[in-house]
Chains A and B, each alone.
Chain A
Amino acid sequence: MTRVKRGYVARKRRKNIFTLTSGFQGAHSKLFRTANQQGMRALASSYRDRNRRKRDLRRLWITRINAAARNNGISYNKLIQNLYQNQILLNRKMLAQIALLDTNCFSTIMKKINE
């Protein structure tokens, strides 16, 4: 058989992994075998956390709304109940942002539901 040098075939394959793991700590971005493993874990975490993100953000909004509501003298559960009864369809993300950025608007909402 004729002699076949492998050329840079392996290097091209490994380069893709290294672009994925660039910026990782220590050997995780320098040595191929560890970087390969860390790349796989990174992709798996990324997949799992795309769905987790939806849950985590909703938890955060609820905590923030709870804090703002308690500053206004009501608890989160009572606030949500009152909003539904008054048919105010603001979702938790918007409520949390309003509570942070526009406190006047938030107190107006509170007044409306207390009527």
Chain B
Amino acid sequence: MASAAAPTSMAARFASMSVSSTTTPTSAVKLSSSFTGNSASLLSLRRRVTVPLVRPRNLQVHAKGGFIPAEHRWMYEGIEKMGPDVWNSTYYPKADDHKNVEKKWYIVDAADKRLGRLASTIAIHIRGKDVPSFTPSTDMGAYVVVINAGKVAVTGKKRDQKLYRRHSGRPGGMKEETFDNLQKRIPERIVEHAVRGMLPKGRLGRRLFTHLKVYNGSDHPHVAQQPAPLPITDKRINIVQ
């Protein structure tokens, strides 16, 4: 290789250059300098660090302005158009990939379904965990419509013993209500409370929560969105009467 021979000749050239610089210039003005040449240690350092001045400029393949080393060029054979590497860089969704108008809509009938298991399935679909393009920082999930929310079921003695608590903010302002009472008063709140507890807490979580639509009866205003039945894989979600 030419480059291997270059360093030694470079070093020799440097050595000769330093020697020539110490010869006193033949000019009218007499310059005196105490410099007597670089010491041997400095010269030996130079010998090790020499860099060939001329870079071999054979064919350079440019990929989006980047230089491809010789060993990698076989990978780029046959590719006419260079673009972003979709295979080697992990997918991150663009704005077009999660437009609200193009999201899926699901519908589920809450009658005689266990509250927690139902809420869990709903939360998974709203968050988007069932989709391979899931991204925790973006909203890749679907909309879910829940009907017959007033008929959601709980097992055991929860109907009379499960308490829903809220606080008005003032001292002594804690209010409790049983499941049964709340279902008579505001039935939608039960399903909403359950799903909200299963969604992430934060700005994104609050926005995800707005994708849940709960209705007491069996009518809902989202017929135009043609919601598909929510796929449920939980085998114990139905109350066996």
- A interface residue numbers (CB < 8 A to B): 57, 60-61, 63-65, 67-68, 70-71, 93-94, 96-97, 99-101
Contacts and interface: CB of A to CB of B under 8 A. Distances in A.
A102 to B, nearest CB: 9
Per CB-CB distance, the 7 closest pairs between chain A and chain B, nearest first, are: A68-B132, A99-B132, A100-B132, A64-B132, A67-B132, A100-B91, A67-B130
Contacts of B91: 96-97, 100-101
B90 interface: yes
Question: For the complex, would chain A's binding face be called helix, strand, loop or mixed by DSSP majority?
Answer: helix
16 contacts: A60-B135, A60-B136, A64-B132, A64-B133, A65-B132, A67-B129, A67-B131, A67-B134, A70-B233, A71-B132, A93-B90, A94-B87, A96-B91, A96-B132, A100-B132, A100-B133
Contacts of B4: none
Contact of A63 (B86, B87, B129, B233): B129
Interface residues of B, number: 13
A70 B90 contact: no
Interface string B114-137: 000000000000000111111110
Contacts, number: 39
Contacts of A68: 132
A100 B130 CA distance: 12
Contacts of B134: 60, 63-64, 67
A93 B87 CA distance: 9
A97 B132 CA distance: 9
Contacts of B135: 60
